[in-house]
Amino acid sequence: MERLLITGGTGTIGRELLERLHTQYKIRVISRDELKQAQLKSQYPDVEFVITDIRDYRAVLKAMVGMDAVIHAAAMKRIEVCEQYPMEAVKTNVLGTENVVSAAKERGIKKLICIGTDKDCEPINVYGMTKAVEEKITLSAGYNCARYGNVFGSRGSVIPLFAELSQKGLPLTVTDPEMKRFILTPKEAIDLLLLALNSPMDGTIFVKKSPAAKVGDIAAAFSDNICVIGANPFEKKCEMLLTGDEMSRAEDRDGYYIINKDKKSITEAIPYTSDKTDLLSVEQIKELAKQYGQSN
């Protein structure tokens, strides 16, 4: 049985990975969250949980012993926190990724992927900038990357917050109702990660095609008590999953794009943005909320 290390394995994606893979792989999870590790240990007794900070190279190198593959999911993800503490984001998302990739190389691990985000395409905030560098570090080492937008109901998304505020009868604050965000389900995210992990390791980015939703429609799916407060300077009106240059080099596959770092193009295409894809309706968002336990 192949041995898989998941960094940040107590987060939303980490938990989804455990649910899908705990019978297929011998899994070791590293994270800094001792409470969630204890909770997950009772649910997955065959999974090994280790308290490790990816900022500590020696600890990461030790955690890599005996592993065959790595899914690097650990990151600082909250945009406003990264804006407030930019060097902390650099330490985790950039230097931490360098530790993970270097340790994997030192241990001779052939398969590793990192998780990219639409925020790292032409980034305007610290989170996106650090995640863009994370991708570069991973690709330059010859490993792959899986890039996608907002995972519905994940800890870093607004969905759990909207659900909680609605249940308490409190107003939902929205910066700009017309903002459009890519949306995908946890299953779709995991499918893309496994595709990237089990494909040849040659510095390829795998990008999930996804519908989008207006932030105002997401809020309306939970409540009609909505307060518009205005956009923040570190938010885009629309997000981007592929730049124009990347689109010109991308291969269109069924449900996703792939971009090889060495493929060149002399032309530029239209970027793949959240205003150029299908929009989810309020009813479709409500159905997703029911499906993933986020409805009232």
**Which pLDDT value is given to residue 1?**
85
Would you say 195 and 163 are in contact if contact means Cβ atoms under 8 Å apart? no
Does the pLDDT of residue 262 top 80, yes or no?
Answer: no
The residue assigned the tokens 């985790």 is 92
Report whether 275 contacts 212 (CB < 8 A): yes
- As a whole number of angstroms, the distance between CA 252 and CA 265 comes to 15
Residue 211 has pLDDT above 80, yes or no: yes
Which sign, positive or negative, has the C-alpha torsion 6, 293, 120, 127? negative
What mean pLDDT do residues 29-41 have? Answer: 94
Q: Can you give the pLDDT at residue 293?
A: 60
* Tokens matching residue 193: 């990660």
What pLDDT shows up at residue 240?
A: 96
- In order, the DSSP letters of 175-230 are S-TT-EEEEE-HHHHHHHHHHHHTS--SSEEEEE---EEEHHHHHHTT-S-EEE--
Q: pLDDT value at position 260?
A: 84
Residue 119 among the catalytic residues: yes
Above pLDDT 90, what percent of the chain?
Answer: 82
Mean pLDDT, all residues of the chain: 93
pLDDT above 60: residue 295: no
Specify the 3-state DSSP secondary structure of 110: coil
44-58 pLDDT, tens digit per residue, is 999 999 999 999 999
pLDDT mean over 268-294: 89
Domains of the chain: 3-291 (3.40.50.720)
Answer with the residue of higher pLDDT: 264 or 3.
3
Average pLDDT over residues 29-57: 95
Residue bearing the bigger pLDDT, 150 or 268: 150
Highest mean pLDDT among 8-12, 72-76, 156-160, 162-166: 72-76
Which listed residue (119, 180, 214, 286) is catalytic?
Answer: 119
Confidence check: pLDDT of 243 > 70: yes
Model-level pTM? 0.94
